[in-house]
Each structure stands twice: as structure tokens, then as C-alpha cells.
Amino acid sequence: MEEDKSLNFIEQIVENDLQEGKNDRRIQTRFPPEPNGYLHIGHVKAICMDFGIAERYNGVCNLRFDDTNPVKEDTEYVDSIQQDIRWLGFHWGNVFYASDYFDQLYDLAIRFIKEGKAYVDEQTAEQIAEQKGTPTEPGTPSPYRDRPVEENLRLFEAMQRGEIEDGKMVLRAKIDMANPNMHFRDPIIYRIITTHPHHRTGRKWNVYPMYDFAHGQSDYFEGVTHSICTLEFVVHRPLYDWFIDQFVGQVPSNAADWKTGSDYRPRQYEFNRLNITYTVMSKRKMLQLVKEGLVAGWDDPRMPTVCGLRRRGYTAEAIREFIRKIGYTKVEGMIDLGLLEHTIRESLKNTAPRICAIFDPVRLVITNYEGDGETIVAENIDGNPELGTRQIPFARELYIERGDFLEQADKNFYRLSPGGREVRLKNAYIIQATGCEHDADGNLTTVYATYDPLSKSGTEGGNRKTKATINWVECQSCVDVEARLYDRLFAVENPSAEEGDFRDLLNPDSLKVVTCKAEQSLRSEMHRPEVVDGIAQVNHYQLLKQGFFVIDPDTDDRHIVLNRTASLKDNWQK
């Protein structure tokens, strides 16, 4: 059932370009993460765009790690990023690294110096910042701005040979210190980094290119046609174009015909980044939460990371569907967390087997039930027999939810109450409460009821309607299960908009760990999950009336751990 969805503005641009025959009607995109953290759902939005455009228009999307800053980057992240993209179901053409182009980039820098377009500055970072001016005031030129070409060449080579201390010199493009776009005020294009080896090139380089000098150039070398990124790069686009103008058609590119006057050039387009209520989408803040132990790790089920969502029980399909729903524009907005939850419920409601678990158990004794008990056969999903059945033990003593019994009930309460209405035990018999018992402190300990032996589900006598159906498990056979009940990470809608420390805004109730009593089938249906690409394939369940749950990797043979993916909607107000 493919619903008609109009093209987003990037797709329209691509279709126009195709129609006009731009870049020989070739479509090539790239997903360019910096390997300095785990992928989060904001990245997924970019991934769906970059890979989606390539898929839709028979192009190719390459994965390119933007690894120009060895101080922050690590192979740990390179691996997790690839795993997450594969898990999401996308396929790249090649894996590239910005560091693949360090030689070409260095040559380009030399070329710029020779053409008088770059110079070595030996002022401090503070001095350079001061001379940059402000958005409303022009900058002032560096005293080193007019150094002779030979001297620039000699110094830049000395920088690369490791003869200059970190921070003592930088290479700047010589553009325009008075440009209204601050990025044109002689941007730094190379800096010295000797303190950290690069995760791929080791100690080969002592100078590393800055983003503005690496990104567009890498796009050009690879033959990228549509370089799609988020809105904060809009101000960089003129510089992106400026650099490419300096060498387009004069330097090799994988794009065809560069030598023969092809019109090829990469172009940058920007869309709005993803913000979701009650969470943060900043790698820096996430890293802080992880490092300070405020969450259990990058894959903590409360985190908006891909691995966190996965552990929470989100499926790749649901995450992609969510991205499809929110669309792409140039308006900076804030997506309601409720939409993400709605999407995962949609995805699981027709597939997740139902199971009973009692979270706040109280004993129910069926006083007129004779015999040792019986086995009930229930469909895993009501009305969906192809999803199989399971067996549930039934006997005289059961656990039910404490909240399903009220000694004094008003008419809006549909469930058990002494002398009250008939209530269906899910998949079993109709009962009627007759009384209850309390301990010395007045806590309810036992509910007494009688059952109608002819009212069993699936039998003719069982067709009688009841207003309510309640959950139960049989006392002897049920299993204790640890349930981790997750809720929104932050207590406020937009933590980034608040004054003060974002850590003070964490939701203190974002995790509640409880033990519940689940029906035996949860244990018997459990199996060691199959591991694909290092990722355990998980089973999703719906605990009736409680929500969707997924088996957590902390589970072992003795101890079952379930994570709540999402609660069920609850229209019953007290």
C-alpha cells in the first residue's frame, strides 16, 4: 500500500538536475560522518536522505568518514557507524575516508600557496580571532598576509615535517578580510597536530586540513554530484563553491570527462536537522551523559543513538518510517516524541506476540474451582492464527493485578469488585469477585472469586460479553522477570533551550526497574538470539495492557530482562 508522497525539495532539485542533464545525469551522494561518536537518530535522517536519493535515482551513495581531526577521532566509531548503517538496511558503494585525500589536499594547498592564494600565519589563535572582526565589523589583515610565496612554501613544508610546534603556525586562505560572510575572512585551511596520531595514517602527517578545505574537495575528487547536509552549513556554501572554483577542471576527479571540459561540479544542499522533544541531539552532550555515568552507555535504551533505540526495541523499519513521516524542509522545528512512539507501536502491533505479565500481583483464589488445573491454548495475537498459539497453565490460584480489584468501585470501574460485574480472565473463564482479605496493615492480600465452568474462551458458553477482561498468571508456573520501564530521558520538552546545566533537566523517573510475574511461555519461547553482523536479533512482545517489550542482552539462563520499548496508549483516566 504505497501512499502517494510528494517529493521533498531536494528530490525536486535532483529531478530538475536530471531533466537538465546536469553532471551527465549522474547522481552521486555521500554520507560523511566524523568518527567521533555513535550515530543517533539525527544522523539517520541524513542517512535516509543520502542513501535514499541514491537508491531512488539509480545513483550511488558512498560512506565517507570525515576524519580530518585525529584529536577527536577513533576506529571504535568507524566500526559502530558501519554496523548501524547496515542494520538500518542501507548499502554504500564504497567506504572512503577524507584521509584518503590527504596527499591530494596537501598538493592543493601547495598549489594555492604558489598561486598566492594562501599564506602561513604565525599569530596566536586569539590574535587571529580578534582580527576576524565581528558579523557587523570587517576584519583586519594579518601582518603575515603578504609573505612572499617562497617563504610560505618553506614554512608550510616545515609545518608538515614536524619542525613547528602545534599552534605556532597555520595556513590560511587569502580571500577577503572584509567579506560580510565571516567564513571568507582568510579561513584557516591547515593546522598542525602532532599530539595525536591519526587512526589511519598514523604519524605520516603533522598538518591536517580543516573541514572547509577538505569537504568540498573530497566531494569533487569522488565525483559527488549532490552534497547534502544540514542547515548549519548554509553559510559555508559560498566558501565550498569558492574553493571548487579555484581548481575545478584542473585537478583529477572520479567524475567522467574532467579533462575534456565537463561541466561537472559538486553542489551543496541543506535541509533541516532533526530535533525531538524530551531528548538532546548533540554528540557532545551524549558523550557527557555516557562519561559521567548518567546513562548506562551509548546503547542505553534511553539514548537517541541508533544502538540505544535498537536496545530499546525500535526496529530499523520503524525508525525509517518515522523519518519518512517527518519529511525534509528548511524550517527548523521540533518533532513530538509521541510521533516516534506512535511509529513503533504501528510497527509492532501486528507482529509482537502477546504475553501476560502481572506487575503488582495479588493472589486470586477461585473458590469453586475443583481439580489440579488445566492447560489453556491461546493465540499469540488474537484473531491472527497464523502467528501461532501458546499453552498457558491455569489453576485455582492465580495472580492478578492489584489495580484490577477495587473493594468500593464506582460505575466507571469495569473490573473486579465484590458483588460487582462479571469479568473475563483473558483466554479463560468468566469470574465474579466474592470477597477479599487484608493483612494487619490493611493491604489487600487475597481476592476471592467464583467462576463459571461453562464460560471458557473458545467454547459456546464463553461467548457471553463482559465489560472487562483482566490479566492473570498461574501462581506455580509463572516466572519472575526483570522489567526495565523506560520513559523520556529529560523532564522538559526542549532541554537545549533551558538556561543552566542540561544535566539538571534529566527525568529522574526515566528508568524504573521492577520484577513482574510472567506466564511460563515467556521462558519456553526464549531462545539465544541469532547474531547477525554483531547484532543480536531480538524478539518483541506485547505484555498485555503494559506495552511493547524486547528481550535485553543482559538476559541469561536464569534471569530474564525485558526492556519496555513503548507503553500502550491509555485512555482510562482516574
Partner RNA sequence: UGCCUAAUGGUGUAAUGGUAGCACUACAGAUUCUGGUUCUGUCUGUCUGGGUUCGAGUCCUGGUUAGGCAACCA
Give the residue numbers marked as catalytic: 34, 273, 283
| Pick 300 or 449: Cβ nearer RNA | 449
Spatial distance between the Cα atoms of 109 and 107, rounded to a whole number of angstroms:
5
Piece of 144-152, 194-202, 329-337, 500-508 that binds RNA (CB under 7 A): 329-337
Handedness of CA 513, 517, 519, 523 (dihedral sign): positive
Q: Pick from 44, 49, 120, 210: which binds RNA (CB under 7 A)?
A: 210
Q: Is 532 in the site for RNA (CB under 7 A)?
A: no
Spatial distance between the Cα atoms of 428 and 451, rounded to a whole number of angstroms:
10
Piece of 107-115, 197-205, 319-327, 504-512 that binds RNA (CB under 7 A): 319-327
Closest alpha carbon to 82 in 306, 321, 297: 306
Q: Per CB under 7 A, which of residues 349..368 are in contact with RNA?
A: 349, 354
Q: Residue for cell digits 457471553?
A: 464
Q: Please, what is the minimum distance in Å from the beta carbon of residue 24 to RNA?
A: 24
Q: Please, what is the minimum distance in Å from the beta carbon of residue 87 to RNA?
A: 22
Spatial distance between the Cα atoms of 453 and 335, rounded to a whole number of angstroms:
51
Spatial distance between the Cα atoms of 360 and 570, rounded to a whole number of angstroms:
18
How many amino acids of this chain bind RNA (CB under 7 A)?
91
Question: Cell for 134?
Answer: 565581528
Q: Please, what is the minimum distance in Å from the beta carbon of residue 409 to RNA?
A: 8
Question: Cell for 114?
Answer: 604558489
Largest CA distance in the chain: 103
Piece of 117-125, 251-259, 301-309, 437-445 that binds RNA (CB under 7 A): 117-125
Q: Are 473 and 358 in contact (CB under 8 A)?
A: yes
Spatial distance between the Cα atoms of 349 and 237, rounded to a whole number of angstroms:
44
Q: Pick from 30, 200, 415, 540: which binds RNA (CB under 7 A)?
A: 415
Q: Who contacts 555 (Cβ-Cβ below 8 Å, separation ≥6)?
A: 526, 561
Piece of 327-335, 363-371, 440-448, 512-520 that binds RNA (CB under 7 A): 327-335
What burial class does residue 215 get, using C-beta atoms within 10 Å of its C-beta: 0-12 exposed, 13-18 middle, 19+ buried?
buried
Q: Who contacts 425 (Cβ-Cβ below 8 Å, separation ≥6)?
A: 398, 431, 451, 469, 470, 472
Q: Per CB under 7 A, which of residues 6..45 are in contact with RNA?
A: 6-9, 12, 32, 34
For residue 376, which phi and psi values (nearest 5 degrees)? -105, 140
Q: Please, what is the minimum distance in Å from the beta carbon of residue 441 to RNA?
A: 26
Residue type, 523: R
Q: Is 265 in the site for RNA (CB under 7 A)?
A: no
Q: Which residues of 20-56 are buried (b: 16+ CB within 10 A; e: fewer)?
A: eebbeebbbbbbbbbbbbbbbbbbbbbbbbbbbbbbe
Residue type, 176: D
Q: Pick from 181, 262, 288, 450: which binds RNA (CB under 7 A)?
A: 181
Binding mask 212-251 for RNA (x = CB under 7 A): --xx---------------xxxxxx---------------
Q: Pick from 26, 40, 191, 540: which binds RNA (CB under 7 A)?
A: 191
Q: Is 426 in the site for RNA (CB under 7 A)?
A: yes
For the chain, what percentages of helix, strand and coil (3-state, to nearest 5) are there?
30, 25, 45
Q: Pick from 112, 298, 322, 328: which binds RNA (CB under 7 A)?
A: 328
Q: Please, what is the minimum distance in Å from the beta carbon of residue 328 to RNA?
A: 7
Piece of 82-90, 119-127, 247-255, 258-266 that binds RNA (CB under 7 A): 119-127
Q: Give the count of beta carbons closer than 10 Å to the beta carbon of residue 547.
A: 23
Binding mask 376-395 for RNA (x = CB under 7 A): -----xx-------------
Q: Is 158 in the site for RNA (CB under 7 A)?
A: no
Q: Is 499 in the site for RNA (CB under 7 A)?
A: no
Q: Residue for cell digits 515467556?
A: 522
> What is the DSSP secondary structure assignment for residue 405, as one 8-state letter?
B
| Pick 70 or 258: Cβ nearer RNA | 70
Q: Who contacts 326 (Cβ-Cβ below 8 Å, separation ≥6)?
A: 45, 274, 335, 339
Q: Is 333 in the site for RNA (CB under 7 A)?
A: yes
| Pick 189 or 300: Cβ nearer RNA | 189
HSE, side-chain direction, 13 A CA sphere, residue 393: 20
Q: Per CB under 7 A, which of residues 122..141 are in contact with RNA?
A: 123-125, 128-129, 132, 134-136
Q: Per CB under 7 A, which of residues 60..79 are in contact with RNA?
A: 66, 68-69, 71-72
- Pairing, β 430-438 against β 444-452: antiparallel
| Pick 194 or 246: Cβ nearer RNA | 194
| Pick 71 or 256: Cβ nearer RNA | 71
At residue 94, the 3 state secondary structure works out as coil
| Pick 258 or 478: Cβ nearer RNA | 478
Piece of 140-148, 299-307, 320-328, 513-521 that binds RNA (CB under 7 A): 320-328
Binding mask 272-291 for RNA (x = CB under 7 A): x-------------------
At residue 511, the 3 state secondary structure works out as strand
Residue positions counted in the chain: 574
Q: Is 458 in the site for RNA (CB under 7 A)?
A: yes
Q: Pick from 110, 153, 188, 365: which binds RNA (CB under 7 A)?
A: 188
Q: Please, what is the minimum distance in Å from the beta carbon of residue 232 to RNA?
A: 5
Q: Is 56 in the site for RNA (CB under 7 A)?
A: no
Q: Per CB under 7 A, which of residues 295..314 are in contact with RNA?
A: none
